[in-house]
Structure 1
Amino acid sequence: MAGLPTLTSHQNRVLRLSFFSLGSLVILYVLFTLTSSSPTPEAAVPSSPHSSTSWSSAGSLLGFPPTPYPVWGLGEGGLMATDKGGINYHAGTGEYRWSEDHPWMKGKEHRRVMVASHFTAHEDVYMSLVHTLSSLLPSPKNVRVYAAEFRWGFADIVEQIGLYPGKTYHDPATLAGDLAKTDLFGAVKGDVGKKADMVVLGTCEIDMEHFSEDLFKQYLARPADDKFTLVCIVHNAFAVEWLIKYGADWVKEGALRIMPISDHVKRAFLYHFDLWADTADTHQVGYEYVPVHVHIPVLPLKLPTKPAKNEMLTNAVIQGSFDPNRRDFEGVFQDLIEELDADPRPWGYHPLSSTTSPTTYLPIKDDPSIPPFYLHLAGNGDITVPEKLAHIVKVHVGLSYPDFFALMSSMDVALLAFSASQKGGYFEVQASSSVAMAVMCEVPLLTTHHIRKVYTYTSSPSITLLRPSYLREIAALKVLRSGVWSPPSLPSSEDGRIASVPPGVEGEIEEMIRLGWKRTEESWRVYQKGLSERNREVGRRLLAGM
């Protein structure tokens, strides 16, 4: 989100571990295994902050009867249903944890939900889930939010779109105590005198340290027929130690659900869970049974009326942190400068001139057929823009949520510009907010096959733009802006054959040109409706105890 405040050192450790890749995690795991103690006849469960734990469900994780609900998978083709029980494994998303025969699927209905976070960010993520659950519960007031005051006008967004009908925000410090109360949910007759039966934490990588011990005491204090479920929203799988330190007790009780915000982060957690299930110290905890549900954090924004678009692509945006370890601004700047140095006119700029502008490209203002191209950077941090691009790159920092959403929705296209050092993270273990923000603000996202495979909810050509990886982002923008492309002139190879672009590239570029860069309001309405239904189905299953 644009304009994020300076994070504490602990928050930075959790959220900005950009030096790791999935391979690094495997190496760390091997080192951990080699240095761990020898297995004992009994389960060597790691030391837990929930001391002297009494497992009320120990030994009874298996054997629950199948639920009457159909099996659902959320593949690239959208929602898929089958009435078949047993294993329902999707190679891409690991949906076997939604099987009817899953041992935790008791079918217990959840009606009274508390959503909380100690962290002062990610409000757009967990409030998106609040919106989904509120629309499914007997009363929207059956959701209570425990959070500090929202930053930068986000409360105005919540009010504007009716995101939280409960309206009152509660002190996170009162969450555990409120779990013992029976007078908090009275909007529906059937909930009078009953306690909350589900707790959602907005950033479990941080929140579990603050909440888990007190929440688990409340869990153990309840009788077996009055337990509650803990749902952990997770943002990355870089730091997962908290799931062993704070999560083992919840897993052994069958009371934990994990909720990533993208399918590829889900796959990373499934990998860890399966790994821990085969590890001597954790094999008797039950990690392989933890259900993992993906909820895409897209808010139903009321976007301002968009001005009529130019015929030529004019405004592109890169949203997110200005940290060079996250996004390749230097590479984007260099590619843009090379294009301008070769011929600035297609971009709407005059050539450099020793008399008028020797170091900076100036826009052409007297030819409306070639509007100047602008690259907007919306985020936080420090960034140095090359002098040549001083009139082309527009930097936006410290925006309120309303201003940020207005800026984003006015853009023609959004770029991801992931840095080489971070691609492993954003493609394997961490979800980029830039993807959800583009979808939320209805800005066509410039994608590749790889991006669409990872962020599966971007696979629809009706709302995204597909470029072959052969074209870097700036080169693709030039093609989309001009509507033309010619294969490069390549020298003949030594054996006399004429070198060419790889097979398939020309066809994909021609298709990119044919589809153009504009997307219709109707295509967005259809897409948003489908995404909302996907999220609602996840919410239904969560509330049904799955």
Structure 2
Amino acid sequence: MVLATRRSVVWACPFFLVLLVVCTTFVIDIEWNQLIPASPSSVALDGEYCLRLSDSRHDIAVIEAQVSTQETTTTLIKRKHVLVASFFGFHFDVYMTLAWTLKRVLMQVPQAQIELFAAPFYYGFEAVVGEYGLYDGVRRDPEELLSYIQSNTTVDTVVLGTCEIDLNQIHSALLDEWDKRAPEEKFKLVCMVHNVQDTPWQANIGEWSRRGAIRLVTLGEHVGKSFRNMFEEIAEEPLGGGGYEYIPIDLHIPVLDVSGLPAKSANRSLARAVIQGSFDTTRRSYYNFFDELIRSLHRNPEAWGYNSLSDRASFVPNYQSLVPPFELALVGSGSLEVPQELAYMVSIHRGLDYANFYDLVASMDIVVPAFADNGYYEHQASSTVAMAVELDVPILATRRMRKAYGYIDDDRAVVTRPAAMSEVQALLALRTGSLSYFLEQDPDGVMGLFPPLRALVNDMREMVNGGWVRDPADLRRYKERLWRNNEEVVERLLADM
């Protein structure tokens, strides 16, 4: 067995023979500190592809504890009758991704079943459920949930898709049903949570945590950390805060396996960007983005593929340009006023069904987050991040974003801009393949005089040289690993681990 690194070739010692049955040739990525299969067909184990290497000299014997087949994992599953439910009319794309993972895991478990209780799906998502096989059964009305649980003592897991809304609807009756059941009939409450600052429902957590009957599922690492910090503070209260410090918190990334994604030329110019989300200016800096884009157009219209404004009200595309004019799509809901200067550049798309939404966003070159404040870095997970991964469009991220959303801390998923460089500046640099429009703000060359500023310039050059075009095969391997990690989360959940 050969372990191929970027720098050398290492022959595995006899100790590794225990892995030979389940592992083929792997590529060790020293920068990522993990084994990545040499091809998508390689066997993925324990979500980290056989082993994870630390920068420190980790005892290699840990491999023995990490090697396990999925068959072995599923034998530990003790929860086999799962209900996925929500009274909330939205977030179905999030909790149905978890339902899809549950289905993939439980289809290998004898006598397992999943039931869905949810309001009707909007925007054609019912067709997505059918096309991608997210759930095969009948969708029941959520108002039937309690009566179903009361009449079926085999139910051992209840997943609420938006606990901030859902638990308030049924807390007392659901808790009463839990208390009535015999010890061997108790169920686990699994709360999918979206925003740690949405607090009214949190008053109900204590009753469930005292019973050891609740666990949380978050959509981003930073949200999980915020809940963990809050729970640890509560746990220091008298009587241990009702067992808050023992509440398990899991991470499940809502990324589907969307098919039919467009093939794109590797030699194209960056011409199409998208900002996705509700048109709420407290969440995304639309107007700041517009203002900076207009200033940049006044300075360098030809770099964006437009004619100078002259006496016109709007910048008009220069169709004689060697590269296509830049376009910005805004995809979401609500009201937003686009400045007249950007009338030819900016398009607004509201009320798209999922098929058209997928087609539009997947056609883009890059996703721009345009976050307005710290909320999406600290308290709440943005659907934009998972959407970009889902549709194979790199997201323009800072190191801070990569750290908050740890699952995109991977060069295959993002284009990393230095925080000192705005999103508009980064787009122009990527579009032109040049830093000249940024460095013209430093005519005296001050940036080259001080180490931090030299580091900034180096990071900008690395961003430009790396480009935004990503290999579809690399993206596929990246997402397959993500899906396997999701399966591991569900396996732990169903095994009470």
Gaps of 5+ in 2: 1-31, 35-46, 52-75
Paired residue for 1:163?
134
Paired residue for 1:186?
none
Q: 2:324 aligns with which of 371, 377, 388?
A: 371
Paired residue for 1:313?
270
Q: How far 1:306 moved relative to its partner?
A: 3.4
CA contact (8 A) 1:306 1:409 kept: no
Give the 3 Å change call, closer, same or farther, for CA 247–338 of structure 1 in structure 2.
Answer: same
Q: How far 1:402 moved relative to its partner?
A: 1.1
Paired residue for 1:452?
402
Q: How far 1:304 moved relative to its partner?
A: 3.7
CA distance in 1 between partners of 2:450 and 2:264 (Å)? 45
1:197 matched to 2:197? The reply is no
Q: How far 1:392 moved relative to its partner?
A: 0.2
Q: 2:379 aligns with which of 415, 418, 429?
A: 429
CA distance in 2 between partners of 1:393 and 1:518 (Å)? 22
Q: How far 1:338 moved relative to its partner?
A: 1.1
Q: How far 1:331 moved relative to its partner?
A: 1.1
SS state of the match for residue 504, structure 1? helix
CA distance in 2 between partners of 1:228 and 1:349 (Å)? 61
1:228-258 deviations in whole A, cap 9, x for unaligned?
10000000100234222x2222111101011
Q: 1:236 aligns with which of 195, 198, 208?
A: 195
Paired residue for 1:132?
101
SS state of the match for residue 136, structure 1? helix
The one of the two structures with greater contact order (alpha-carbon pairs below 8 A, sep at least 6) is 1
- Counterpart code for 2:396: L
Q: How far 1:343 moved relative to its partner?
A: 1.5
Q: 2:229 aligns with which of 271, 291, 298?
A: 271
1:438 matched to 2:407? The reply is no
Give the 3 Å change call, closer, same or farther, for CA 466–399 of structure 1 in structure 2.
Answer: same
1:511 matched to 2:462? The reply is yes
Paired residue for 2:57?
none
Structure (1 or 2) with the greater helix fraction:
2
Q: How far 1:310 moved relative to its partner?
A: 6.0
Using structure 2 for the length normalisation, give the TM-score. Answer: 0.81
SS state of the match for residue 247, structure 1? helix
CA contact (8 A) 1:237 1:269 kept: yes
CA contact (8 A) 1:414 1:445 kept: yes
CA distance in 1 between partners of 2:272 and 2:78 (Å)? 48
5 Å-filtered alignment, 1:460-539, equals 460-486=410-436, 487-488=439-440, 490=442, 502-539=453-490
CA distance in 2 between partners of 1:466 and 1:473 (Å)? 10
5 Å-filtered alignment, 1:396-411, equals 396-411=349-364
- Counterpart code for 2:141: D
1:322-349 deviations in whole A, cap 9, x for unaligned?
1110000111111111111002011111
Paired residue for 1:211?
170
Give the 3 Å change call, closer, same or farther, for CA 536–77 of structure 1 in structure 2.
Answer: farther
SS state of the match for residue 333, structure 1? helix
Paired residue for 1:342?
299
CA contact (8 A) 1:237 1:430 kept: yes
CA contact (8 A) 2:234 2:241 kept: no
Q: How far 1:488 moved relative to its partner?
A: 3.4
1:283 matched to 2:235? The reply is no
1:113 matched to 2:64? The reply is no
Give the number of aligned pairs: 426
Paired residue for 2:148?
178
SS state of the match for residue 190, structure 2? strand
SS state of the match for residue 94, structure 2? helix
Q: 1:395 aligns with which of 342, 345, 348?
A: 348
SS state of the match for residue 83, structure 2? strand
Paired residue for 2:116?
145
Q: How far 1:279 moved relative to its partner?
A: 2.4
Give the 3 Å change call, closer, same or farther, for CA 311–491 of structure 1 in structure 2.
Answer: closer
1:449-478 deviations in whole A, cap 9, x for unaligned?
100000111111012101111210011011
- Identical aligned residues as a percent: 37
Paired residue for 2:125?
154
CA distance in 1 between partners of 2:195 and 2:241 (Å)? 25
SS state of the match for residue 250, structure 2? coil
CA contact (8 A) 2:413 2:475 kept: yes
CA contact (8 A) 1:112 1:143 kept: yes
Give the 3 Å change call, closer, same or farther, for CA 279–376 of structure 1 in structure 2.
Answer: same
Give the 3 Å change call, closer, same or farther, for CA 499–287 of structure 1 in structure 2.
Answer: closer
CA distance in 1 between partners of 2:288 and 2:170 (Å)? 42
Q: 2:210 aligns with which of 239, 246, 252?
A: 252
Paired residue for 1:122?
91
- Counterpart code for 1:144: E
CA distance in 2 between partners of 1:489 and 1:525 (Å)? 40
Q: 2:368 aligns with which of 409, 415, 436?
A: 415
CA contact (8 A) 1:204 1:233 kept: yes
CA distance in 2 between partners of 1:77 and 1:331 (Å)? 38
1:362 matched to 2:302? The reply is no
Give the 3 Å change call, closer, same or farther, for CA 268–77 of structure 1 in structure 2.
Answer: farther
- Counterpart code for 1:490: D
Using structure 1 for the length normalisation, give the TM-score. Answer: 0.74
CA contact (8 A) 2:79 2:157 kept: yes
